[in-house]
Amino acid sequence: MKHDRTVRVAWHLLIGLIYLFLLAPLIIVLIVSFDIRPYLSFPPASFSLISYARVLHNPLFLQAGKTSLLIGGCSAGLSLIVGTSAAFALVRGHFPGRQSLQWFFLSPMLMPHIVLAVGLMMTLQPLGLLDTLTGLILAHISITLPYTTRIVSSGIAQLDRTLEEAARIHGASPWQSFCRVILPALRPHLITGFLIAFLFSFDEAVIALFIAGHRAVTLPLAIYQYIQFRTDPQVASLSVLVVLLSLVPIIIIERLINLRRAVGG
Amino acid sequence: MRVSVRKQPSWLQVLLILPGVAALVVTFVFPLLWLARTSLQPTTGHTLSLHAYVRLFEDSFYWWVIGRTIFIGLLCVVITVPMAFPVALFLARSQSRWRGTLTALAIAPLLTSTVIRTYGWMVILGRHGLINTTLVWAGILAQPTRLDNGPFATVVALVEILLPYGIISILSHLSRLDAELEQAASLLGARRLQVFWRVLLPLSLPGLMTASLLVFVLAISSLVTPQLMGGGRVFVLATEIFNQTTIALDWPFAGALSITLLAFFGIFVTLYQRILQRVESQS
């Protein structure tokens, strides 16, 4: 049985190493973010929070943070409303072509972002929406709508119809049963849909690179532009803050309906 | 007793789905059609022209770029999928109470910024980075070398970025499999390695294929990592598309490149479906 034990240890070691590889960039960024040297190197020479303070006083980064939160919130909100409304028709409707429409709503997931980005750029340019918040929000609706629609759809499919029926029998109007029974039952899926959409918008860089970058700058864009020319601990601190900000929705999603199901596994 | 809820009138359904359809047409369908239209724009006159495509396919540089793109995509698949498989296997069979946390930990990086993770690799592979410092300290290198620039760095970072996608697609296939089958095989006296080759691997094949396709298509369309880590020396379709739209401002040509990328996308998805059908009909 000694052989068995060796195999088990080796197997767990292998898994551990792969996890280490997967998390390495985030761990390293965290370590470097406490450095004070103006250039990037490893290991850090000191432990300080100076670069965090610098980030919080950098107007460029603060503005990008506001822009990112605004675009993430607006596109996730719109995507959730439109997606929820469509999900009801897609799950409960009886009309010809329902299956094709279900596919149609998922299709942007399969589209490479770079191709969509070029198309969006060519479409937004004549409308004067390049480098604007409106343009970015519109663009992010297209990439988030499949996720909100799918997550809310799966919630609707799991609804216990007898509850609605009970509400209706007891004299609730359709609108009342929707507000008092259906919406509360769907709450975890609605919140997850919003948060997933927010995260995809918040972390999106490829489309933003094509359609924004001067007046409208999101956080990923600000980091991209910064590290193209210099790399110092300030951008590491900013990265840590951005990851921490993403971590909050990630943990909520994991608690609500489990991360794997939300992403589509 | 079940009382059926009155069927909703169909105009309500149309009303419910209309905003979604409109949003997708405006932000998804129309941009793609407009992209195709722009790629056919002539230099002069109003008729459609294939000149951007002719220029693309007559230039051997772009054939080289296409080859390079596919090569990097395949390289990512060959490295990522064998790394994702053990993790997915581990997560699918683990009885540990940390299983949920470990699964979340493997997927969560997918929801963190690609730009930040690429930046992390710049720190690790950089001139004064982790690898160089360690190698110099250990006396293996006399002086730090440039690791953070070029195809090597690009592939390393892409593998790490795409790993969660590989894990999640294999895991979702494995969790549908019967764990008992594997148990039965091992009880019958099959050796561990035999169980792996004869039972586990063939059964996991569809999941491995889905992972390969996903990693491949994401790798060939990734822009941020080759742009930041390529050091201007990694030419793939995505970086060419970016340069043509933002620097050369040749939109018809950028359109033609994008449609070409999309065509390769389509070819590989079709190939995948054909092979998957064959694999599934055999098992």
Residue of A91, A115, A125 to mutate when probing chain B, most B C-beta within 10 A: A115
Higher pLDDT, A35 or B212: B212
Asked if A220 lies within 8 A of B34 by C-beta distance, the reply is no
Helix (H, G, I), strand (E, B) or coil at A219: helix
Are residues B262 and A112 in contact, defined by beta-carbon separation less than 8 angstroms? yes
Asked if A231 lies within 8 A of B2 by C-beta distance, the reply is no
Residue type, A157: A
Residue found under tokens 């950098």: A58
Residue ranges per structural domain of chain A: 58-263
Please report residues of B whose CB lies closer than 8 A to that of A26.
Answer: 109, 112, 116-117, 120
Report the CATH architecture of A58-263. Orthogonal Bundle (1.10)
Q: Please tell me the distance from the alpha carbon of residue A169 to that of residue A177, in angstroms, as a whole number.
A: 10
Q: Please tell me the distance from the alpha carbon of residue B167 to that of residue B162, in angstroms, as a whole number.
A: 9
Span A106-131, pLDDT tens digits: 999 888 999 999 999 999 999 999 99
Residue type, B92: A
Asked if B130 lies within 8 A of A7 by C-beta distance, the reply is no
Residue found under tokens 């490893």: A42
Residue B3: pLDDT over 60: no
Closest by Cβ to B255, choosing from A118, A209, A227: A118
Span B222-233, pLDDT tens digits: 999 999 988 777
Closest by Cβ to B109, choosing from A18, A22, A86: A22
Span A153-206, pLDDT tens digits: 999 999 888 888 888 888 888 888 888 889 999 999 999 999 999 999 999 999
A-B contacts (CB, under 8 Å): 279
Asked if A111 lies within 8 A of B32 by C-beta distance, the reply is yes
- Look at residue B188 in the predicted model and tell me its pLDDT: 66
Asked if A122 lies within 8 A of B221 by C-beta distance, the reply is no
- What is the value of pTM for the model shown? 0.90
Q: Please tell me the distance from the alpha carbon of residue B41 to that of residue B39, in angstroms, as a whole number.
A: 6
Q: Compute the mean pLDDT over every residue in chain A, rounded to the nearest whole number.
A: 90
Closest by Cβ to A28, choosing from B27, B112, B124: B124
ipTM: 0.91
What average pLDDT does range B198-213 have in this prediction? 88
**In CATH, what class is B55-282?**
mainly alpha
**In terms of C-beta distances under 8 Å and separation of at least 24 residues, what long-range contacts does B132-137 make, across chains too?**
B133/A41, B133/A42, B133/A43
Helix (H, G, I), strand (E, B) or coil at B5: coil
Q: Which residues, in sequence order, are CB contacts of B66 under 8 Å at separation 6+?
A: B237, B260, B264
Q: What is the dihedral of CA B70, B76, B79, B80, to 10 degrees?
A: -140
Residue of B1, B13, B16, B27 to mutate when probing chain A, most A C-beta within 10 A: B27
Residue ranges per structural domain of chain B: 55-282
Span B109-134, pLDDT tens digits: 999 999 999 999 988 888 777 888 78
